[in-house]
Amino acid sequence: MSYSRVTSFRRQQGSALVVAIFVIVVMAALAAAMLRVSGSSQDMTTREVLSTRAWLTAHSANEVMMSQLFPLTGTSVEPPLTICQRLDPESGTAKEFSPSDFHGCHATTTCKSASVGAANTYLLVSTASCGSGPHSVTRIQELWAKDLVNE
């Protein structure tokens, strides 16, 4: 009985080494998977932040154009139709909007007018871009406005 006990003990030598190598390989695979997930999460967060900034930049550009077309004071130097016709996309002109506090985002706004009866309608289209390279994001916002003064 003691002979078989010694033989079985000798057969079991080195099994801890196999288990240790297996555990190390599994832990390394888990660490690599966690790094990949973490990198993907950071990339998604960057894109979400840039997307939000681009959307807000386009929105701000449309608001600036609305304040130029229809000033809050009620008195404008030029009629809205004249301002809009200068920014018609078919003429190749657009208003650039690139404030310094928008983290490198910039927008381009165009205006297209249409007359329906006595009323003029205006389509403002702002295209904003943020980021560069693989993290470049572009958002487009359209806004319709109607001139109620002429009705």
Torsion sign, CA atoms 84, 86, 87, 89: positive
Q: Give 105's DSSP letter.
A: -
CA–CA–CA angle 101, 105, 109 (5° rounding): 110
Say if residues 95 and 107 touch (Cβ distance below 8 Å). Answer: no
Q: Where are the alpha helices (DSSP H) in the chain?
A: 2-12, 15-69, 80-86
Residue 74, pLDDT above cutoff 80 = no
Percent of the chain with pLDDT strictly greater than 70 = 85
Output the furthest CA–CA distance in the chain (Å, rounded): 111
Task: Quick: pLDDT tens for 27-42.
Answer: 998 888 887 777 667 7
Prediction pTM value: 0.69
For residue 29, give the amino acid letter.
A
1-28 tens-digit pLDDT: 455 665 665 666 667 788 888 889 999 9
pLDDT of residue 151: 47
